[in-house]
Structure 1
């Protein structure tokens, strides 16, 4: 008697036609969205080039895409200090543009990093203990409503024009959003979940670690995402004074010098960096709380 070995290719395909069609439909939908975004970007650049090439707007107010690109390249290379002068200078203001960006990212990392540590701790305490929430919440909302430029002068008086005042400004910009998101997450935990684990004999610590923390984690990550975005928009205000090196300080200084191409190049870099940071936080959120949206 002979036996015929069954190869993997001969095994029954467990994917149904509907599943394959659904997967192909999702891929085609993603490709259409990507193609639409690329097309929109091309149309925008062409319209920008056409307006500047036709001279409808003075280059001082809107330089051409080529001029912005040249400013970006110059900010990242050694170049002549002026035409016909042999002396070379490094980037802009003595730093390459990527060094300006790195300096701003370091300030964001320290300021927002401190908010990510302090915010959830205070938020959990306020969410679990109502007297503390009643006492602190008005001040927290007051701080959240203040625009950063409203207290940057006071921070400079307290901490000087160095990095300390900038880090404090970024911390204060991010801290309220993370704390409030944590409080909302604690308050949104279904009471039935808590009663169910208590009926099974769980103590207060187990309720906190097995129910409250996992249920609150998605809200905390959402608050961190909002806080990082708001802190990044505050980077220009944080670097108004002695902000070199810093991408926000370079954008402000180039604007005061009427170097519009460099200003727009800095704005583009700031915007792209914000998108990258947001995508990174979303990716971390998917890894950290895979149960989000599946309950």
Structure 2
């Protein structure tokens, strides 16, 4: 006879499988509505290009093609890079920025939650969290130049606050009786931190990382405004300046799908690292 855990897992799996037709049907309906609106001419193509034109722009951005109809000059993708290369460059910047935010944000959050520094620094952390990226991108360029360093710094500053604040929230949510129990058994402060505090805080930290990745994606266009090629955010920005709506929508869809894929990966990582979450 299967255990309750196995039965529950099978039920969850069946429920997810039943949702697949719903998701596919919703997507098909949205694309059909999009096509119908553009086909009837309810919206000008400059504002909402048809799905076929967006697909052509996507294919064009990933292949070698003539510079213009009838031209003998062959160009590579868009801005001399394929679309997947633009995406990879942005992912690398986001990986560096969010990775640095994880390395710095978690220890800072632990220190702020367990010492008097939390009272002093938390208002400044909230201040940093409230700042829009465009407010200080110019200053970062002055400090670090228009290369990748300023972009990574901007993404770090976007990702750091949610990770630190999630860590603080997680530590403050740990029950005192759990900490007192291990201390009474002779555990040191370091052992208490590694055996109780961090495991109990890990679900909150992973949630903070997911939020931070989302913030990083919303910041990538601002980060890549200056000298951001290759970069999917810069490509979307430059395409908008040229009124190339087809390519702008293609970039938006790629950014959104990449963000969904990253979020699904983080959800899977959460299940691996904290399998007990939601089972209490």
Task: State the TM-score bracket (shorter-chain normalisation).
Answer: over 0.9
Which residue in 1 is equivalent to 2:163?
Answer: 178
Please point out which of 144, 151, 165 is paired with 2:150.
165
Which residue in 2 is equivalent to 1:55?
Answer: 41
RMSD: 1.8
Confirm whether residue 230 of structure 1 aligns to residue 205 of structure 2: no
* SS class of match (2:228): coil
Q: Using the alignment, how far apart are the partners of 1:24 and 1:161 within structure 2?
A: 52
* SS class of match (1:79): strand
Q: How much does 1:207 deviate?
A: 1.2
Confirm whether residue 210 of structure 1 aligns to residue 195 of structure 2: yes
* SS class of match (1:92): coil
Q: Using the alignment, how far apart are the partners of 1:21 and 1:201 within structure 2?
A: 39
- 1:128-187 per-position Cα deviation (integer Å, ceiling 9, x unaligned): 11x111111111110001011111111111111111110000000000110011111111
Gaps of 5+ in 2: none
Q: Using the alignment, how far apart are the partners of 1:19 and 1:199 within structure 2?
A: 33
Q: Using the alignment, how far apart are the partners of 2:193 and 2:12 within structure 1?
A: 39
Which residue in 2 is equivalent to 1:116?
Answer: 102
Matches within 5 A, 1:1-295: 14-15=1-2, 26-129=12-115, 131-295=116-280
Q: Using the alignment, how far apart are the partners of 1:238 and 1:38 within structure 2?
A: 33
Q: Could you say if the C-alpha distance between residues 27 and 284 of structure 1 is closer, same or farther in structure 2, counting changes exceeding 3 Å?
A: closer
* SS class of match (2:146): coil
- 1:266-289 per-position Cα deviation (integer Å, ceiling 9, x unaligned): 000000000000011111111112
Please identify the structure whose Cα radius of gyration is greater: 1
Q: How much does 1:100 deviate?
A: 0.3
The number of aligned residues is 280
Q: TM-score when scaled to structure 1? A: 0.91
